[in-house]
Amino acid sequence: MPYFKVGEENSADIELYYEDSGTGQPVVLIHGFPLNGQSWEKQTSVLIENGFRVITYDRRGFGKSDKPSKGYDYDTFAADLNELMTKLDLQDAVLVGFSMGTGEVTRYLSKYGSARVAKAALLGALQPFLLKTDDNPEGVPQEVFDGIKENIIKDRPSFFTGFFDNFFNTDKLGGTHITDEAVKMSWNVAVQSSAIATLACVDTWLTDFRADVKKIDVPTLLVHGDADRILPFESTAERLPDLIADSKLVVIKDGPHAIGWTHSEEVNSALLEFLK
């Protein structure tokens, strides 16, 4: 299996797992919390069939990647992505992030620039700034995130059960857009993640990306569900067209957070139109 090295901890290397399939313009798919690169399965085959090279990787702490005790911040996540871009010498690439993965895309473009990047797509975006503060009244109160961390510490497997109910809006979409088996598949992936990473990543959601998004200088697609319970549309994607110069917003009606699965046809159509 292919891995690339991103650092060291004590006596061991820190290596991240990736997959590289197809030929054509490279599209790098960066997954959300608390999943792995395989969570893109409804996009990967479609992209390959349409003539794109598709690269996925598992974020540190998740999937088949190593699970160090450090490096759970967006400067490090972006540095990990940069290692992959450099190792594969990707040119004219498209960076596609979902949820937490939008942070890697945004911070990478802000810190490393767009020399290797032609376009970007943010699905279920985390930006511009999720935390409610005096100068960011559209954000989410700190108490919400404190409660999430308390529940992770108390019973991480149980937390994931409730999380995925809201991730997929199972009360509204169960049996039509999402099956119990698909939810369980995501739960099985999540519980294999690092407990340290699961907890540490909550704080990364509160990263202030307001300065980063203004530096994005490539065409950018924004796709978001208007029924997103994890990253509310009004706090995130609705605000981004005013901050990203060359951007297009596609709103998925009744779409939950996990639009890439529940509304894959709409998401894939928007993505392919943007890519071509």
For each of the domains in the chain, give its residue range(s) and CATH number, in order of start: 3-275 (3.40.50.1820)
- The C-alpha atoms of residue 264 and residue 135 are separated, in whole angstroms, by 35
Asked whether the predicted pLDDT for residue 1 surpasses 90, the reply is: no
Please state the pTM of the whole predicted model: 0.97
- The band of 237, judged by pLDDT with boundaries at 50, 70 and 90, is very high
Mean pLDDT of the chain: 98
- The band of 67, judged by pLDDT with boundaries at 50, 70 and 90, is very high
Residues catalogued as catalytic = 99, 228, 257
**The pLDDT of residue 170:** 98
**The pLDDT of residue 52:** 98
- The band of 240, judged by pLDDT with boundaries at 50, 70 and 90, is very high
Torsional class of 271: left (φ above 0), alpha (ψ -120 to 50), beta (otherwise)? alpha
Instruction: Tell me the per-residue pLDDT of 9-66, one tens digit each, with 9 for 90 and over.
Output: 999 999 999 999 999 999 999 999 999 999 999 999 999 999 999 999 999 999 999 9
Instruction: Tell me the per-residue pLDDT of 116-140, one tens digit each, with 9 for 90 and over.
Output: 999 999 999 999 999 999 999 999 9
Instruction: Tell me the per-residue pLDDT of 172-183, one tens digit each, with 9 for 90 and over.
Output: 999 999 999 999
Residues 236/251, Cβ–Cβ less than 8 Å = no
**Alpha helices (runs of H) in the chain, residue ranges in sequence order:** 41-49, 74-87, 100-112, 142-154, 156-168, 170-173, 180-191, 195-204, 210-213, 259-262, 264-275
Cα distances from 100 to residues 8, 40, 74, 172, in angstroms, run: 23, 14, 10, 24
**The pLDDT of residue 15:** 98
Instruction: Tell me the per-residue pLDDT of 208-236, one tens digit each, with 9 for 90 and over.
Output: 999 999 999 999 999 999 999 999 999 99
